[in-house]
Chain A
Amino acid sequence: MNIDLLTLVEQGGCSAKLSAVELNEALADLPKITHKNILVDIETHDDAGVFKIRDDYALITTTDFFPPVCSGAYDFGQIAAANALSDVYAMGGQVLTALNIVLFPASLPLSILKEILRGGQDKVAEAGGYILGGHTIADDIPKYGLAVTGWVHPDKIVTNAQAEPGDVLVLTKPIGTGIIISAHKNGLASKEAYNLAIENMKQLNNKGASVMSKFGIKAGTDITGFGLLGHALKMADGSKVSIRIDSAKVPFLTNVMDLIDMGCIPGSAFRNQESTDGHCVFEASVDYNHKMLVLDAQTSGGLLMSVKKKDVDNILEKLKNAGYPSATVVGEVVSRMEKSVYVG
């Protein structure tokens, strides 16, 4: 039985995140936890937590799950898994094990769930990890994701906190998945554009992480629900620097600019606009469409890494050879100024 999963949801993927403003408020009153082995926690708005086991070994733990972002169940399983695994890669680590997180309605045929799980399993296997189990809840709208455990050498952790003035920012994948999915739901995206977006979301960030490790990169993140601008903002604040994004250089998926121009802008982009408002400045030369592009919520987006200028050509070549042909420089890190991010 073929069911278009997108007909079941209003907001899919990372677009379904709570807004950063609401999240901060919800977390505001929780007491801060400290322990000598906690290397990375929520303090710097990082992608995952890191807990030191030995001086040469730390565990990375993270979780991510969401409602369908695409029509097909097998695709959805793969994308949700790639997205959850990405947080480990964004910390510079490698995947060890994962647990399935499943919410699934009794009203849908079980064959769909099987396909979702097969997608997840295949992606985790591609990442070199193992699914050890999971947990399932009956719920009206299907949701799928993973809780992932990975590892990293404590000296090789990549965080939001160590971007340095003079670095340049490299983005590994094109953006615009939120816009394409939204357009696809309304029959506005071409088949080609939709398929490219699906492939883009399925692609693991493992090889990007290897490049970060090889070049000793200390600051990076993956681009997901808060959009390129929202994640750049977290990096700028985490590192106490300012970031400049050159919006004209940001790579985007086929059809994306036409769709924005048509007005196909998902609500999540407006939510990201609200949560970045006041912390980011758009130069007057940035047109409205580019503004909404950098605010578009991504699902399983690429890595944004802060690299030394002298390494950038080498890094771009390695990334392109590793299967990220759109990898490019999208901005730079500068000394802290009044605002966190400046988009030109």
Chain B
Amino acid sequence: MKIVDVKGMKCPMPLIETKKALKEIEAGETLKILIDNETSVKNVTHFLKDNSFPVEQVKNGDVYELVVNRTGDDSFETVDEVAYCEAPAQKDNSYEVVYAKDRIGEGSEELGNALVGAMLHSIKAMETLPTKIIFMNSGINLVTKGSLVLPQLKDLEAKGVGIITCGTCLDYFGKMDELEVGRVSNMHEIMESMLAVGKVINI
């Protein structure tokens, strides 16, 4: 276990020292931070939680001890090292979903429409949410007035999923003023985000 003593330091030095220490320790190692002012305890804890590091707090007299696991994932401690090394390096779980039409698949239109709702419902329940959902061509019908899946999309947006609609498409269909959820974007941004993300799912 690595110990960082930031007693007597004023904000933001405790956070700077914490970040430095987190970079120095190995995955799976634990870090203990000793802090003696409450503001810094609050701020450092905020930072750690925001970055998904589980943190435990113990108060010892006037000194707070924050115990942090480097990986943010307890399972690392129990995994044997060889198996861990063979695991693919840093699997990128991030993904985006592109709706280039307003239903799923060919065949029955009615079924295709219903499947969109079912799919969004399932996306909501996924452990990893998509970073963005992108709407193009007739897909824009899902984000504009009259769409039946607006509640699901608003829900996803509130959870931090970017709801992105192609501006050219809205313009083409004359629906620029009817966008009900998310924001307008352009092909440049859409391409950039597709290239940056781990996986793109095309509907």
A contacts, CB < 8 Å to B: 10, 182, 186, 188, 244, 262-267, 270, 273, 281-285, 288, 291, 332, 334-335, 337-339, 342, 344
Roughly how many angstroms separate A339 CA and B179 CA in the complex, as a whole number? 16
> Is there contact, CB below 8 Å, between A281 and B160?
yes
B contacts, CB < 8 Å to A: 10-13, 15-20, 39-40, 42-43, 46-47, 50-51, 94, 129, 131-132, 154, 157-162, 179-181, 183-184, 193
* CB of A164 to closest CB in B, whole Å: 12
Question: Which 10 pairs between the two chains have the least Cβ-Cβ distance?
Answer: A263-B19, A263-B16, A283-B162, A263-B15, A267-B11, A284-B131, A284-B160, A270-B43, A285-B131, A244-B183
* CB of A127 to closest CB in B, whole Å: 33
Partner of B16, one of A264, A267, A344: A264
Task: Provide a sorted-by-A list of 28 A–B residue pairs whose CB atoms are within 8 angstroms.
Answer: A186-B13, A188-B16, A262-B19, A263-B12, A263-B18, A263-B19, A265-B15, A267-B11, A267-B39, A270-B42, A270-B47, A273-B46, A283-B132, A283-B160, A284-B129, A284-B160, A285-B162, A285-B193, A288-B50, A288-B51, A291-B50, A332-B184, A334-B183, A335-B180, A337-B181, A338-B154, A339-B158, A344-B183
A residues less than 8 Å from B19 (CB atoms): 262-263
> Is there contact, CB below 8 Å, between A284 and B158?
no
Roughly how many angstroms separate A288 CA and B40 CA in the complex, as a whole number? 18
B residues less than 8 Å from A186 (CB atoms): 12-13, 16
* CB of B33 to closest CB in A, whole Å: 12
Given A10-B10, A263-B15, A263-B16, A282-B47 contact (CB < 8 Å): no
A residues less than 8 Å from B16 (CB atoms): 186, 188, 262-264
B residues less than 8 Å from A266 (CB atoms): 11-12
Residue of B nearest to A244 (CB): B183
A residues less than 8 Å from B10 (CB atoms): 10
> Is there contact, CB below 8 Å, between B12 and A337?
no
A residues less than 8 Å from B132 (CB atoms): 283, 285
Roughly how many angstroms separate A263 CA and B19 CA in the complex, as a whole number? 6
> Is there contact, CB below 8 Å, between A342 and B157?
yes
Given A283-B131, A285-B193, A267-B162 contact (CB < 8 Å): no
Roughly how many angstroms separate A94 CA and B161 CA in the complex, as a whole number? 43
Roughly how many angstroms separate A344 CA and B180 CA in the complex, as a whole number? 17
Residue of A nearest to B132 (CB): A285
A residues less than 8 Å from B43 (CB atoms): 265, 267, 270
Residue of A nearest to B155 (CB): A338
Residue of A nearest to B197 (CB): A285
A residues less than 8 Å from B184 (CB atoms): 332
Roughly how many angstroms separate A285 CA and B129 CA in the complex, as a whole number? 11
B residues less than 8 Å from A265 (CB atoms): 12, 15, 43, 47
Partner of A267, one of B12, B50, B158: B12
> Is there contact, CB below 8 Å, between A281 and B158?
yes
Q: A263-B19, A337-B181 are in contact. List 19 more A-B contacts (CB 8 A).
A: A182-B11, A186-B12, A263-B17, A264-B15, A264-B16, A265-B15, A265-B47, A266-B11, A267-B39, A273-B46, A283-B132, A283-B162, A284-B131, A284-B160, A332-B183, A337-B154, A339-B158, A342-B183, A344-B162
* CB of A200 to closest CB in B, whole Å: 20
Best-surrounded residue of B129, B160, B193 (most CB of chain A within 10 A): B160
Residue of A nearest to B130 (CB): A284
Roughly how many angstroms separate A344 CA and B161 CA in the complex, as a whole number? 9
* CB of A22 to closest CB in B, whole Å: 14
